[in-house]
């Protein structure tokens, strides 16, 4: 059984393997970055480290939503460069990423191997970022492909 | 084999070996320059460095490394023993050997693939020339067992000659070395401090022999020669006694005995001959050889021995720390400072309530500051790490170029942030190569010029004003400004007009211009200029500056000014709308404040770009908000709110009708005159170009800690990093170069425009001057104003009306004893006559061109009053009632004024020429 951190973006429930999540924090003071790609929401100061925040909704091709009381940031253990996890260089430790989500859900236990392929009726943009769908008690859980989310472009 | 050893141990070995090699180079240079006079100490130092490298290589079974270093060691041994003098060709072999070793260390696992046959052959040729055969080995038998070890014959001979015992020592990599806090090299160094290491290898047999094999601990076998007794040797090696065994070298001993006999026989025959190897039995400690070994040991304790050159026992004084660990520590320290600030703010109110809180806060405060400084210090490296590579480079170049060059280094101990030191390598190498290649003359040329045939390159680093200065000075031929200028003109880097206004200093700095240097300048221009723009770009990237001083025939100095650290930079914090940005202060030239009321005059459009007129120069302007795509806000004067600003350009106005002063004063709160709408312009420097950035607000200058940008954001190009302000807020650091690119500033277009304007201004100034007139303003009839150009007036006279005499219908007055005809304007022009009742009148006596001032004037013009004499700038308009003698009319002092041409007036009055006579 794997544990998944779940969160809402728009009407859907998304999930990430909890081992890939560093921490989840409330949203505060995001500094926008002019001229950056639209899905870059900005930067925050997480105890002295600068974290780049992705707007998950925009990344998945939806409309960006304003920050609400329920909004949270999921800070990832992964870093933007895929090899960063094993590289010990300073770049990796600096390049922290976080996902802006509308609301945070429960931690769900499920068998990862039961995940089905994403449904075919997805837009191309979405399909790229999704790795599968799990049926859970809380409903359908869409699993995210973190590597793709964090790859540039 | 190498894979058996721990990766981290190998990494340590590589790092240490690199240090050894870098310390070897200056010593090799010293050996070369001093020749046979070189001190034993220096040779020993080199020998030991190469020796421990060889030992380590044997340890880890890096065959190529071992072979090459062994050959080099053997050559060095000959030098040490005085059998070989360090001639340049031998040194060449050693230098190339060092290069090869370095190449092998670069990729240690592939070190066996580095070709070194040529180097090895060269070294072997030297050795065989001295009768040393590298391949020659002797058998050494372990006492009490039947195991034989192959030993290098020459080394053993050398060791026996010094009265040393041979030992075989087994050391277990983990138990005996790592767990003792040592590195393999440190272990070897230790061994070498008490003797000489003949060979080191990983002993498979020993592992198999011993029960330790289960522990999977690698046994390293050290074949070792020392003057120490077996038990003492074990103690010195910090190994258990049973792991150190004595080796017998029977064959060699016999051979040497025979030699010794022969030597003794020779001694008898010729008593003065050098004492040969005299010991029959090497087992006991011979007294004499100890003295021989001593100089080696003495090196250890010499404190002045240069850092890496002297080998430290065990390495207790320094620790290897990963750089990212330090970077992390530095971040945390910065965070601590922030936390401290917040803490102090939060508890200030309780200071009186809690006794002793003030003292505690002060303590925390101080410790935090010191800690931050301390951590910064850990990243500092002496500039010497860069400087010390230059003697070698220069040595190679001077041999290639057949020049004599001496390198002097001063201030090698000056410390800089590690990252800066690393990034300085390329620019400095470039400058030094230029010095050697272009600036310094050949010995023959130097002699001719009356200079010492040896050219000097002087490297000097020093602190000044919180910055590091590095000066590279040569006493070469200097840079000829004329040649530089000719080249720059030919390349179209400057226009003739620009060139005319340039100082020599400015011209010389053209070598930094991009596109100045090409291959042909090398031969064309005496001095430098190859890729100096690259040097400048690199140094500026580091937040520094380059300057050049030169005197033809005397030499050139290149000065670099650099910040101490890249991590903390003073920056100006600016605000646009509700965004904040940091601009590094090194990029800021000045700050210009344009009053809202002056905006229309000072800011304008040129070819679609916004420019500011700043001291007769056109400064391209960008609005930070526009470049970054931030919604501009303006303060609505009526409501006091910030509202989106939709104007396309600063200079835009709603209407073009000029405001009357009254209107302007009634609209005091208009946003164009309100101080809150003044423009804050920061002038930034990009290379030699400047441009202005319009921001809404300026805040303090803060010392900011630069944090690298996420890869997601690097694509924006406008930012060089991010930082966290004292209040915890994240802001971006603007990159002056990237910003100008993003704003698509075209500096060259503007320069052309600037030149065009300058010329236009010159023209219009000339035109203005031609329009500018000095006039005398007067009235004839009341309210009718006239002006006469002053250069048409000879003098002005006051007369009484009673003195006017009438002859016929002409009036005269007595003037200097003669009758002067008078002219009334109303007789010739359509103007009113003079008032009848005036008692006092004035005369304008015109100057007739070509007549000198003492000649009798032709006539005087009667006027009623002189108003003023002034300079006016007027454009004369034709008047409808033109008559003879009228130049035209213009408004002077808010009155319509007729400009007279007195000479024509007199002509019309028939008072000129023959008529006047």
The domain that contains B488 carries what CATH number? Answer: 3.30.565.10
Asked if B427 and B421 touch (Cβ cutoff 8 Å), the reply is no
The pLDDT score that the predictor gives to residue B574 is 92
| Contact flag A90-B328 (C-beta cutoff 8 Å) | yes
Q: Which residues pair with B665 in a beta bridge?
A: none
CA–CA gap between residue B38 and residue B256 (Å, rounded): 30
Give the angle subtended at the CA of B17 by the CAs of B162 and B408, to the nearest 5°.
90
Which of A36, A47, A50 faces B707 most closely, judged by CB atoms?
Answer: A50
List residues bridging with B562 in a β-sheet: B468
What is the C-alpha to C-alpha distance for residues B77 and B57, in angstroms, rounded to an integer? 18
Identify whether B373 is part of a domain: yes
Whether B557 shows a pLDDT value over 80: the answer reads yes
Residues of B in contact with A44 (CB under 8 A): 730
Q: What are phi and psi of A63, to 5 degrees?
A: -70, 140
- B603 plus B707 within the same structural domain: yes
User: How do residues B260-303 score in pLDDT, each as one tens digit?
Assistant: 666 666 555 544 444 444 444 444 443 333 333 333 333 334 34
The total number of structural domains in chain B stands at: 4
Give the helix/strand (H/E) hosting B202.
Answer: strand B195-202
Mean pLDDT (chain A) is 79
- Tokens 């290069």 sit at which residue? B99
The yes-or-no verdict on residue B718 having pLDDT over 70 is yes
Burial, B546: exposed, middle or buried (Cβ in 10 Å; 0-12, 13-18, 19+)? buried
Return the pLDDT at B702: 78
Closest Cα of chain B to A99: distance in Å?
13
Neighbours of A134 (CB within 10 A): 23
Q: What is the CATH number of the domain that holds B341?
A: 1.10.287
What confidence tens digit (pLDDT) does each residue in B175-187 have? Answer: 777 666 666 667 7
Mark whether B515 and B486 lie in a shared domain: yes
In a domain, B48, yes or no: no
- Name the percent of chain B lying above pLDDT 70: 72
Q: Of B327, B335, B630, which has the smallest distance from its Cβ to A47's Cβ?
A: B335
Same domain, B556 and B587: no
Parallel/antiparallel/unpaired status of strands B219-226 and B195-202: antiparallel
Average pLDDT of span B591-608: 78
Least confident of A122-131, A144-153, B306-315: B306-315
The structure tokens 């070509």 sit at: B850
Going by C-alpha positions, the residue among B845, B832, B761, B861 that lies closest to residue B796 is B845
Which residue in B has a C-alpha nearest to residue A34's C-alpha?
A: B628
CB B74 within 8 A of CB B153: no
Kindly give, in sequence order, each residue whose CB lies less than 8 Å from that of residue B584, ignoring residues fewer than 6 positions away.
B543, B569, B570, B571, B720, B733, B734, B736
Beta partners for B605?
B610
- Residue B81, number of CB atoms within 10 A of its CB: 12
CB–CB of A95 and B710 under 8 A? yes
The answer to whether B347 and B357 have CB atoms below 8 angstroms apart is yes
Closest CA to B224 of B236, B211, B242: B236
Please check whether residue B44 is in contact with residue B80, taking contact to mean a CB–CB distance below 8 angstroms: yes
Rounded to 10 degrees, the C-alpha dihedral B367/B372/B373/B377 comes to: 130
ipTM associated with this complex: 0.84
Q: Which range scores top for mean pLDDT: A115-129, B175-189, B270-284, B570-584?
A: B570-584
**Nearest by CB: B724 against A45, A52, A80:** A45
Q: Is residue B792 located within the same domain as residue B909?
A: yes
Give domain status of residue B146, yes or no: no
Residue of B nearest to A32 (CA): B579
Strand ranges of the sheet holding A21-26, from the earlier edge strand across to the other edge: A21-26, A72-79, A96-101, A49-55, A40-46
The mean per-residue pLDDT over the stretch B113-141 comes to 71
Give residues with Cβ within 8 angstroms of A135, minimum separation 6: A114, A116, A141
Q: How many CB pairs under 8 A join A and B?
A: 91
C-alpha–C-alpha distance, residues B102 and B66, integer Å: 13
Taking CA–CA distances from B717, the nearest residue in chain A reads A35
The domain boundary residue, chosen from B563, B597, B620: B563
Taking CA–CA distances from A30, the nearest residue in chain B reads B730
pLDDT tens digits, B687-713: 667 889 989 888 888 777 777 777 777
Q: Going along B554-696, which residue ranges are E strands?
A: 555-563, 568-576, 579-584, 588-594, 603-606, 609-614, 617-623, 633-635, 642-644, 679-686, 689-695
* Closest Cα in chain A, distance from residue B175 (Å): 28
**Tokens read off for A123:** 């837009």
Task: Say whether both B497 and B601 belong to one domain.
Answer: no
Which site among B7, B577, B624, B710 would you substitute to test the A interface, given the most A Cβ atoms closer than 10 Å to its Cβ? B710
Lowest-pLDDT choice from B555-559, B616-620, B851-855: B851-855
pLDDT tens column, A6-58: 999 888 888 888 888 889 999 888 888 888 888 888 999 887 788 899 898 88
CA gap A111, B36 in Å, rounded: 79
Rounded to the nearest 10°, the torsion over CA B895, B896, B902, B904 is 180
Element (H, E) at B220: strand B219-226
Q: For residue B888, what is the enclosing H or E element?
A: strand B886-892
Indicate the residue among B342, B358, B379 that finishes a domain.
B379
Q: Are residues B343 and B434 in the same domain?
A: no
Residue B582 pLDDT greater than 60, yes or no:
yes
Question: Which residues in chain A are contacts of B708 at CB distance < 8 A?
Answer: 90-91, 94-95
Round to whole Å and give the CA distance between B75 and B123.
7
pLDDT digits (tens, 9 = 90+) for B454-508: 889 999 998 876 678 899 998 888 888 888 888 888 877 778 877 777 778 778 8
Q: Nearest Cα to B539, choosing from B429, B439, B392?
A: B429
Q: Which two tokens stand for residue B740?
A: 């100008």
Residues of A with CB under 8 A from a CB of B: 29, 31-37, 40, 42-45, 47-50, 52, 54, 80-81, 88-91, 93-97, 152
pLDDT in tens, B370-400: 888 788 778 788 888 888 888 888 888 888 8
- Name which of B328, B628, B710 is nearest A52 (Cβ-Cβ): B710
Q: B585-589, B645-649, B907-911: which range is least confident on average?
A: B645-649
Contacts of A28 in chain B (CB under 8 A): none
Which residues are CB-neighbours of B568 under 8 A, at least 6 positions away?
Answer: B376, B703, B704, B705, B706
Please state, rounded to an integer, the average pLDDT across all residues of chain B. Answer: 74
Q: What is the DSSP letter of B606?
A: E
How distant is the Cα of B437 from the closest Cα of chain A, in angstroms?
38
CA angle centred on B610, ends B608 and B616, rounded to 5° = 120
Domains along chain A with CATH numbers: 2-146 (2.40.50.180)
Do residues B391 and B338 share a domain?
Answer: no
In a domain, B75, yes or no: no
CATH of the domain at B697: 2.40.50.180
pLDDT digits (tens, 9 = 90+) for B502-543: 778 778 888 887 767 644 444 433 344 447 777 887 787 776
**E strand or H helix that includes residue B156:** helix B153-161
pLDDT at position B682:
92
CB neighbours (10 Å) of residue A3? Answer: 15
- Residue for token pair 């300058």: B758
Q: Which residues of A touch B322 (CB under 8 A)?
A: 88
- Position B287 scores a pLDDT of 39
Q: Residue B334 is inside which H or E element, if any?
A: helix B323-347
* pLDDT at position B362: 86
Element (H, E) at B254: helix B250-269
* Range with top average pLDDT, B214-228, B252-266, B783-797: B783-797
B580: nearest CA partner in chain A: A31
For residue A73, the model assigns a pLDDT of: 92
Considering the domain architecture, whether residues B685 and B736 belong to the same structural domain is answered as yes
Which of A34, A43, A88 is nearest residue B730 as measured by Cβ atoms? A43
CA angle B247, B250, B254 (to 5 degrees): 140
Nearest CA of chain A to the CA of B725: how many Å? Answer: 10
β-strand partners of B620: B611
Res B581: pLDDT: 92
Is the pLDDT confidence value at A74 over 80?
yes
The nearest alpha carbon in chain B to A94 belongs to: B708
Round to whole Å and give the CA distance between A10 and B139. 82
Domain membership of residue B192 (yes or no) is no
Residues of A in contact with B567 (CB under 8 A): none
Distances (CA, A) of B353 to B238, B356, B358, B406: 60, 9, 10, 69
Q: Which of B581, B711, B723 to mutate to test the interface with A (most CBs of A within 10 A)?
A: B711
DSSP class of residue B676 equals G
Asked if residue B556 lies in contact with residue B478, where contact means CB atoms within 8 angstroms, the answer is: yes
Number of residues in chain A: 153
Q: Per the domain annotation, does B130 fall within a domain?
A: no
Q: What was the pLDDT predicted at B604?
A: 78
For residue B801, what are the domain limits?
770-916
Which tens digits make up the pLDDT trace of B806-815?
888 788 888 8
pLDDT (0 to 100) of residue A100: 92
Distance from CA of B697 to the nearest CA of A (A): 17
Residue B884 lies in a domain: yes
Share of chain A above pLDDT 70, in %: 85
pLDDT number for residue B917: 36
- Of B745, B778, B809, the last residue of a domain is B745
Average pLDDT (B588-594) is 87
Q: Are residues B809 and B775 in the same domain?
A: yes
Is it the case that residue B450 has pLDDT exceeding 80?
yes
Chain A: residue whose CA lies nearest to B630: A34
- Give exposure, B338-356, as e/b (b: 16+ Cβ within 10 Å): bbbeeeeeeeeeeeeeeee
What crossing angle do the helices spanning B88-106 and B63-80 adopt, rounded to 10°? 150
The answer to whether residue B282 sits within a structural domain is no
pLDDT at B666: 43
Contact B324 A89 (CB under 8 A): yes
Q: Are residues B358 and B453 in the same domain?
A: no
Looking at per-residue confidence, does B66 or B849 come out higher?
A: B66
Residue B659 has pLDDT above 50, yes or no: no
Q: Are residues B695 and B828 in the same domain?
A: no
With b meaning 16 or more CB within 10 Å and e meaning fewer, what string describes B814-832? ebeeeebbbbbbeebbebe
Tell whether B429 and B517 lie within a shared domain: yes
B679 in Cβ contact with B612 (< 8 Å): no
């Amino acid at each position: 059984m794997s544990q998944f951190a779940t969160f809402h973006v728009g009407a859907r429930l998304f999930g990430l393997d909890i081992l890939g999540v560093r921490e989840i924090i409330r949203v505060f003071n995001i500094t926008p970055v002019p001229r950056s790609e639209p899905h870059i929401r900005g930067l925050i100061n997480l105890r002295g480290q600068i974290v780049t925040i992705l707007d998950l909704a925009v990344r998945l091709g939806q409309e960006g939503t304003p920050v609400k009381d329920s909004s949270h940031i999921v800070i990832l253990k992964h870093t933007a460069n895929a090899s960063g996890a094993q590289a010990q260089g300073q770049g990796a430790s600096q390049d922290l990423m976080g996902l802006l989500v509308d609301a945070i859900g429960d931690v769900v236990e499920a068998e990862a191997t039961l995940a089905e392929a994403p449904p075919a009726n997805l837009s191309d943009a979405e399909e790229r970022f999704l790795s599968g769908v799990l049926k859970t008690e809380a409903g359908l859980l869409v699993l995210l492909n973190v590597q793709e989310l964090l790859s540039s472009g | 084999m190498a894979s058996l050893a721990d990766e981290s141990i190998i990494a340590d070995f590589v790092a240490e070996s690199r240090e050894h090699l870098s310390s070897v180079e200056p010593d090799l240079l010293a050996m070369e320059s001093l020749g046979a006079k070189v001190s034993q100490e220096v040779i020993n130092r080199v020998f030991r460095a190469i020796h421990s490298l060889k030992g380590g290589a044997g340890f880890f079974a890096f065959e190529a490394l071992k072979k090459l270093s062994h050959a080099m060691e053997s050559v060095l041994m000959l030098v040490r023993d005085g059998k070989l003098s360090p001639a340049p060709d031998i040194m060449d072999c050693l230098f190339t050997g060092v290069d090869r070793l370095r190449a092998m260390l670069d990729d240690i696992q592939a070190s066996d693939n580095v070709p070194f046959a040529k180097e090895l052959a060269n070294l072997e040729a030297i050795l065989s020339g001295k009768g040393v055969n590298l391949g020659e080995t002797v058998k050494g038998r372990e006492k009490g067992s039947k195991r034989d070890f192959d030993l290098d014959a020459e080394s053993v001979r050398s060791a026996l000659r010094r009265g040393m015992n041979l030992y075989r020592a087994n050391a277990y990599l983990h138990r005996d070395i790592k767990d003792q806090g040592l590195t393999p090299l440190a272990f070897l160094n230790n061994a070498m401090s008490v003797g000489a290491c003949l060979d080191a290898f990983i002993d498979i047999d020993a592992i198999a022999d011993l029960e330790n094999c289960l522990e999977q601990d690698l046994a390293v076998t050290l074949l070792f020669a020392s003057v120490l007794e077996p038990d003492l040797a074990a103690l010195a090696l910090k190994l258990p006694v049973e792991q150190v065994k004595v080796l017998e070298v029977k064959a060699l001993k016999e051979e040497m005995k025979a030699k010794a006999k022969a030597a003794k026989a020779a001694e008898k025959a010729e008593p003065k001959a050098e004492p040969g190897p005299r010991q029959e039995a090497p087992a006991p400690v011979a007294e004499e050889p100890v003295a021989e070994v001593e100089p080696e040991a003495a090196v250890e304790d010499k404190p002045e021995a240069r850092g890496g050159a002297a080998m430290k026992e065990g390495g207790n004084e320094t620790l290897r720390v990963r750089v990212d660990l330090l970077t992390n520590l530095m971040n945390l320290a910065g965070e601590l400072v922030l936390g401290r600030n917040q803490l102090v703010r939060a508890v200030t109110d309780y200071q009186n309530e809690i006794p002793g809180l003030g003292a505690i806060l002060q303590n925390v405060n101080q410790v935090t500051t010191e800690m931050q400084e301390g951590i910064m210090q850990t990243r500092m490296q002496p500039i010497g790490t860069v400087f010390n590579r230059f003697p070698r480079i220069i040595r190679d170049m001077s041999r290639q170029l057949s020049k004599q060059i001496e390198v002097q280094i001063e201030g090698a101990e000056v410390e800089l942030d590690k990252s800066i030191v690393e990034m300085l390598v390329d620019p400095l190498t470039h400058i030094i190569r230029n010095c050697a290649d272009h600036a310094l003359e050949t010995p023959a040329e130097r002699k001719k010029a009356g200079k010492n045939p040896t050219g000097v390159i002087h490297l000097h680093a020093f602190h000044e004003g919180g910055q590091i200065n590095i000066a590279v000075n040569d006493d070469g031929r200097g840079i000829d400004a004329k040649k530089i200028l000719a080249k720059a003109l030919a390349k179209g880097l400057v226009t003739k007009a620009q060139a005319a206004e340039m100082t020599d200093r400015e011209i010389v700095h053209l070598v930094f211009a991009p596109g100045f240097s090409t291959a042909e300048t090398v031969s064309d221009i005496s001095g430098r200029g190859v890729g100096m723009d690259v040097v400048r770009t690199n140094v500026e990237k580091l937040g520094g500056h380059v300057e050049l001083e030169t005197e033809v025939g005397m030499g050139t100095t290149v000065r670099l000014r650099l910040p101490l650290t890249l991590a903390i930079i003073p920056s100006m914090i600016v605000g646009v709308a509700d965004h904040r940005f940091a601009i590094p202060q090194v990029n800021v030239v000045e700050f210009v404040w344009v009053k809202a009321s002056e905006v229309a005059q000072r800011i304008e459009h040129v070819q679609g770009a916004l420019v500011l007129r700043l001291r007769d120069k056109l400064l391209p302007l960008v609005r930070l908000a526009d470049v970054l795509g931030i919604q501009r806000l303006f303060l609505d004067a009526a409501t006091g709110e910030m509202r989106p600003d939709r104007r396309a350009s600063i200079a835009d106005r709603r209407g073009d009708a000029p405001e009357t002063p009254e209107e302007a004063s009634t609209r005091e709160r208009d946003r164009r005159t309100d101080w809150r709408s003044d423009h804050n312009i920061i002038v930034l420097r990009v290379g030699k170009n400047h441009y202005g950035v319009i921001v809404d607000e300026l805040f303090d200058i803060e010392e900011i800690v630069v944090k690298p940008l996420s890869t997601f954001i690097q694509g924006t190009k406008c930012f060089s990093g991010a930082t966290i302000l004292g209040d915890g807020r994240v802001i971006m650091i603007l990159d002056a170069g990237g910003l100008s690119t993003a704003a698509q500033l075209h500096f060259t277009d503007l320069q052309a425009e600037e030149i065009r304007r300058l010329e236009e201004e010159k023209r219009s100034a000339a035109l203005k001057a031609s329009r500018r007139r000095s006039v005398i303003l007067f009235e004839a009839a009341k309210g009718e104003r006239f002006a006469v150009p002053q250069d048409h007036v000879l003098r002005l006279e006051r007369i009484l009306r009673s003195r006017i005499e009438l002859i016929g219908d002409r009036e005269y007055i007595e003037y200097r004893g003669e009758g002067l005809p008078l002219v009334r304007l109303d007789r010739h022009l359509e103007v009113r006559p003079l008032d009848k009742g005036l008692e006092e009148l004035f005369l304008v006596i015109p100057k007739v061109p070509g007549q000198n001032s003492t000649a009798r004037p032709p006539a005087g013009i009667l006027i009623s009053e002189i108003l003023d004499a002034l300079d006016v700038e007027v454009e004369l308009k034709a008047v409808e009632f033109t008559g003879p003698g009228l130049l035209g009319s213009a408004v002077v002092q808010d009155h319509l004024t007729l400009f007279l041409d007195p000479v024509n007036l007199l002509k019309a009055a028939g008072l000129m020429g023959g008529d006047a006579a």
